């Protein structure tokens, strides 16, 4: 992930910073204590608790490096409070979903923050990519495994700080 720009909202940056702080302090200390207890049990060659703690330690260290790289390469998504003319990351898009015959709202975010179940889709997802740079009134078709989905863009608003 080194070098690749990571799109994040301010909220996303704060979440990653909090996770990083937790990993560097609390989680590292927890694993260090587990390793200490496992070492006290004697023979490490057949000590399952020691092996599990070492594996957990490696996972934590890998996640720390991953988070540090993401934060180092973060590009903050900013949106104005007013409506936008085109769809871009940081804006909420109101769509009419022709497949389900309903209106839906999606906040366009970077892939790190995508959470479709909570209305956050990545600008790199099929729907997100199809919507990019379109404007209100455009009908966008998205190729999916089930066929083609059609969305009409009803509105574009900025809601981020």
Per residue in 51-92, pLDDT tens? 899 999 999 999 999 999 999 999 998 766 666 789 999 999
Name all contacts of 24-29 with Cβ < 8 Å and 24+ positions apart. Answer: 24/64, 27/60, 28/57, 28/60
**pTM to 2 decimal places:** 0.75
Q: Which residues does residue 107 pair with via DSSP β-bridges, in sequence order? A: 92, 120
Structural domains of the chain, with CATH: 6-76 (1.10.287.180), 91-158 (3.10.50.30)
The sign of the CA dihedral 152, 154, 156, 159 is negative
What span, in angstroms and rounded, lies between the C-alpha atoms of 97 and 104? 7
What span, in angstroms and rounded, lies between the C-alpha atoms of 18 and 49? 28
């Amino acid at each position: 992930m080194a070098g690749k720009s990571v799109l994040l909202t301010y909220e996303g940056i704060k979440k990653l910073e909090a996770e990083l702080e937790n990993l560097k302090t609390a989680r590292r200390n927890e694993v260090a204590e587990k390793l200490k207890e496992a070492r006290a049990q004697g023979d490490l060659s057949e000590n399952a608790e020691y092996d599990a703690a070492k594996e957990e330690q490696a996972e934590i260290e890998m996640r720390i490096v991953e988070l540090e790289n993401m934060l180092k390469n973060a590009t903050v998504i900013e949106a104005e409070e007013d409506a936008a003319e085109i769809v871009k990351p940081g804006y909420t898009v109101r769509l009419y979903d022709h497949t389900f015959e309903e209106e839906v709202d999606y906040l366009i975010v970077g892939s790190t923050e995508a959470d479709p179940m909570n209305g956050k889709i990545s600008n790199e997802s099929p729907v997100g990519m199809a919507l990019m740079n379109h404007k209100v009134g455009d009908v966008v078709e998205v190729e999916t495994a089930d066929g083609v989905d059609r969305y009409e863009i009803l509105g574009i608003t900025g809601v981020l700080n």
